[in-house]
């Protein structure tokens, strides 16, 4: 028998505080006994948010067994993989194990393999054991169960792409899809953290959207990241700079744009303290899209006010309509991008 009367947003799973929405809740009921408006997933791989994984790795001193213990402790205490330090989660892939009667009739069947496109910070999760931790991709193979609410979005795993590749792309699907929405032909676009997972996808989309009259500027710090940007051949200008040093970034962007600055700045950096580099590098009246979960929106808002910058700032909502298709199409359209993602994540 299935329990009935559950909230489509999952508030019936919130234990602390009771009745709250599941994302801000401290603790969820992670029982695999689903309600009639839920989907049970046999979890296979967690793709941990990069900022969260970085924090756990630091706490564990880089030790894989230490990272496992932190994940198991978090899930046991909170009923979800919701990092109490960074506040972020990630997403997962798994196989549909059961579908509540209220959700049957969708284009989904027991046995389908899906990627959840909602954060692990709101997904009830029970881990029986961890099979492997891959620090280079922030992926964790598990045996466990997860629950998707009626409001939860998902994508069926594509048949034409390897699982690990698709998971890496879908984890940051909001970034290239939002880029496609906010970048116009002829614009000057700055991508900070351009050599990372979301940055490379945004580079592809930005190049595609600005056209021959626009310019794409890629900024990163690490040599390996800059090499990936160069291989993609999507940037007109490549800048090596530390995004936590806003005045240094400003000088380099001024030089690259003859003082005009960027129309659109997309921040994909997974470390804190990069808000003001993004704000200063953007022209008055321009747009800053903060995709990174390491962003302090207080720092961004008060910092922009403090330097007298009139810029529009967009919170990195990981969802926009059609985002999974847009993101997966990036690696389908661009052979070099697919090769880079395959070498890094698959």
Predicted pLDDT of residue 1: 84
Residue 24 has a pLDDT of 96
φ/ψ of 113, rounded to 5, equals -95, 130
Domain spanning 174-345: CATH superfamily: Medium-chain alcohol dehydrogenases, catalytic domain (3.90.180.10)
Q: What is the pLDDT of residue 257?
A: 98
- Residues of the chain below pLDDT 50: none
* Tens digit of each residue's pLDDT (9 = 90 or more) over 227-281: 999 999 999 999 999 999 999 999 999 999 999 999 999 999 988 999 999 999 9
pLDDT at 116: 94
Nearest to 197 by CA among 144, 128, 139, 257: 139
Task: Give the tens place of pLDDT for each residue, 299-329.
Answer: 999 999 999 999 999 998 888 889 999 999 9
Q: What is the pTM of this model?
A: 0.89
Per-domain residue ranges of the chain: 11-157, 174-345
């Amino acid at each position: 028998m299935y329990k009935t009367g559950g909230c489509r947003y999952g508030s019936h799973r919130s234990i602390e505080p009771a009745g709250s929405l599941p994302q801000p809740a401290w603790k969820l009921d992670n029982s695999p006994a689903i309600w009639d408006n839920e989907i049970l997933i046999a979890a296979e791989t967690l793709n941990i948010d990069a900022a969260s994984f970085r924090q756990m790795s630091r706490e564990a001193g880089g030790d894989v067994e230490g990272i496992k213990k932190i994940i198991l402790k978090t899930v046991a205490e909170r009923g979800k993989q919701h990092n109490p330090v960074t506040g972020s989660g990630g997403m997962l892939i798994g196989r549909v194990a059961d579908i509540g009667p209220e959700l049957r009739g969708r284009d989904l069947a027991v046995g389908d393999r899906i990627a959840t496109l909602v954060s692990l910070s709101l997904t009830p999760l029970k881990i029986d054991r961890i099979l492997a931790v891959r620090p280079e991709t922030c992926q964790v193979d598990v045996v466990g169960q997860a629950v998707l609410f009626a409001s939860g979005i998902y994508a069926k795993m594509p048949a034409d792409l390897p699982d690990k590749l698709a998971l890496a792309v879908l984890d940051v699907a909001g970034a290239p899809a939002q880029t496609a929405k906010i970048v116009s032909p002829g614009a000057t676009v700055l991508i900070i953290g351009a050599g990372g997972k979301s940055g490379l996808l945004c580079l592809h989309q930005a190049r595609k959207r600005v056209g021959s009259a626009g310019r794409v500027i890629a900024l990163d710090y690490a040599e390996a990241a800059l090499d990936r940007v160069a291989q993609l051949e999507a940037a007109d200008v490549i800048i090596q700079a530390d995004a936590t040093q806003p005045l240094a970034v400003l000088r380099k962007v001024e030089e690259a744009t003859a003082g005009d600055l960027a129309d659109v700045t997309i921040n994909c950096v997974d470390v804190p303290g990069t808000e003001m580099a993004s704000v200063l590098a953007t022209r008055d009246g321009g747009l800053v899209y903060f995709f990174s979960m390491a962003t302090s929106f207080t720092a961004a808002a008060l910092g922009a006010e403090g330097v007298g910058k009139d810029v529009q700032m967009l919170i990195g909502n990981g969802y926009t309509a059609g985002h999974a298709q847009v993101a997966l199409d990036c690696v389908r359209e661009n052979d070099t991008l697919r090769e880079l993602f395959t070498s890094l994540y698959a």
